[in-house]
């Protein structure tokens, strides 16, 4: 019974409470529409300011990556047996490739970076040929080794010394150097020049007839 009485009283008082609340709002905001417009404008202004701040931070971050890439690539290998590898700290297959190249007699130096995007851009790796790590090899003539390039392709490159920017094994093909022992491994190594308008060309093939 008490609960029913409470519900009835609440129903009777609700219009009065709403009316009083409206009077308070009107007293504080003589022109509610103008006030709402001011609130919206203020929020838009704050959002715009935040966007400018984020854009500035993104610009600083991009400049930082570019500087890091420039400094890193400035330390290029001095001889044909030296390789400089740029990889992420958590890439196990990258480390496996490094160890395989060391076992083949190459002097390999690694540099761990969180983001390889700037490195690959500075190295001239074309879109579509990216892999998990980027390396440089060579003394007077330096080449880019992108990804799990097999030792045979590296030796061919350093013997022929073609007029190209480097070679790439795109992605992470199973059975490629550092990607496990897969007898039926089948993949292609591409050469790229880094010159505008020139498409990558087949340079070396593994497991193809």
Q: What CATH code is carried by the domain that includes residue 157? A: 3.40.30
Q: Strand 107-112 and strand 82-87: pairing?
A: parallel
Q: What tens digit of pLDDT does each residue of 130-153 get? A: 999 999 998 777 999 999 999 999
**Same-domain check for residues 45 and 63:** yes
**Same-domain check for residues 102 and 174:** yes
**Same-domain check for residues 108 and 196:** yes
Domain boundaries, position 63: 32-74
Answer with the residue of higher pLDDT: 55 or 104: 104
Distance CA 57, CA 13 (A): 54
**Same-domain check for residues 63 and 102:** no
**Same-domain check for residues 122 and 51:** no
Q: What is the pTM of this model?
A: 0.65
Assess contact for 168 and 146: CB atoms under 8 A: yes
**Same-domain check for residues 102 and 156:** yes
**Same-domain check for residues 44 and 87:** no
pLDDT at 185 over 50: yes
Name the domain boundary from 74, 108, 142: 74
Counting the structural domains of the chain, the total is: 2
Assess contact for 148 and 93: CB atoms under 8 A: yes
Across 48-62, 66-80, 182-196, the highest mean pLDDT is recorded for 182-196
Does residue 133 come out as left (phi exceeding 0), alpha (psi in the -120 to 50 range) or beta?
A: beta
pLDDT at 52: 54
Q: What tens digit of pLDDT does each residue of 118-128 get? A: 999 999 999 99
Task: Identify the three-state secondary structure at position 132.
Answer: coil
pLDDT at 59 over 90: no
């Amino acid at each position: 019974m008490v609960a029913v009485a409470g519900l009835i009283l609440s129903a009777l008082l609700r219009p009065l409470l709403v009316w009083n609340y409206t009077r308070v709002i009107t007293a504080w905001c003589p022109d509610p529409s103008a006030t709402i417009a001011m609130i919206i404008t203020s929020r838009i202004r704050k959002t715009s300011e935040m966007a400018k701040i984020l854009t500035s931070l993104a610009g600083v971050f991009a400049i930082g990556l570019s500087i890091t890439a420039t400094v890193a690539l400035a330390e290029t290998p001095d001889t044909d047996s030296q390789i400089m590898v740029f990889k992420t700290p958590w890439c196990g297959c990258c480390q496996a490739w490094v160890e395989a190249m060391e076992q083949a007699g190459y002097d390999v130096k690694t540099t761990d970076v969180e983001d390889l995007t700037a490195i690959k851009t500075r190295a001239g790796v074309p879109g579509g040929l990216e892999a998990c790590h980027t390396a440089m090899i060579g003394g007077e003539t330096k080449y880019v080794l992108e990804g799990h390039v097999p030792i045979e392709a590296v030796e061919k490159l350093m013997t022929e010394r073609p007029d190209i920017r480097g070679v790439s094994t795109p992605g992470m093909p199973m059975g490629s150097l550092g990607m496990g022992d897969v007898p039926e491994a089948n993949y292609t190594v591409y050469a790229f020049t880094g010159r505008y308008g020139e498409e990558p060309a087949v340079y070396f093939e593994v497991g193809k007839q």
